[in-house]
Amino acid sequence: MAINMPASWENSTPKAIVDIIKLEGGQGKLPVSVPLMGGSLAAFALLVAAEHLLSHSFLGSAAFGGGAALLLGGGTAGVLALYKSQDKTVQTITALATVGAVIALVSILLHFIFAAALPPPLPSDRLIRFLLFPMIIWKVFAFAFIFRHARLRTVPAFAFSATLAIVFDFIMATLLH
């Protein structure tokens, strides 16, 4: 039995975000809204800081969240300016921050599920990070998909999204305890 959605759902911002998360639509359907971009970046900063807080200190996690949001917004604006796609900057940052926040939320939930399933005598922190590695791969592919819709070619889109994931999940996470 099919569920009939109202006609207003098809052109709504939540529908556009769901399509971006499912990798079925680009950020072109998102409104060009600086407050929405700011809210998305704030949610991204909060959720990646919460994800980092599971195994690090509070100050390190707060610095990680703020630095990740700053790097995501600034790096994206710089890359889009380099590729002459400044008209898509607000929508692209909004999409990246929203998808990054959703991935961080799923990582937090999976972390709790794995932590409850693995008893303390096991090296649970390293094992959980190993089990959550596919989340990093999801982040790379989702970010590359969004950058492709911002008129970047395939190789630069993957290169920049992989660079962001490496900097976030390996370099910054290691440096900011």
What is each CA distance from 41 to 26, 34, 115, 125, 167, in whole angstroms?
Answer: 18, 10, 28, 27, 17
114 within 8 A of 131, measured Cβ to Cβ? yes
Number of domains comprising the chain: 1
The boundaries of the domain holding residue 82 are: 32-175
- On whether residue 82 sits in a domain, the answer given is yes
- On whether residue 102 sits in a domain, the answer given is yes
- On whether residue 24 sits in a domain, the answer given is no
Whether the predicted model's global pTM rises above the 0.75 cut = yes
Per-residue pLDDT of 31-84, as tens digits, reads: 899 999 999 999 999 999 999 898 888 998 999 999 999 999 999 999 999 999
Residue 131, burial from CB neighbour count under 10 angstroms (0-12, 13-18, 19+): middle
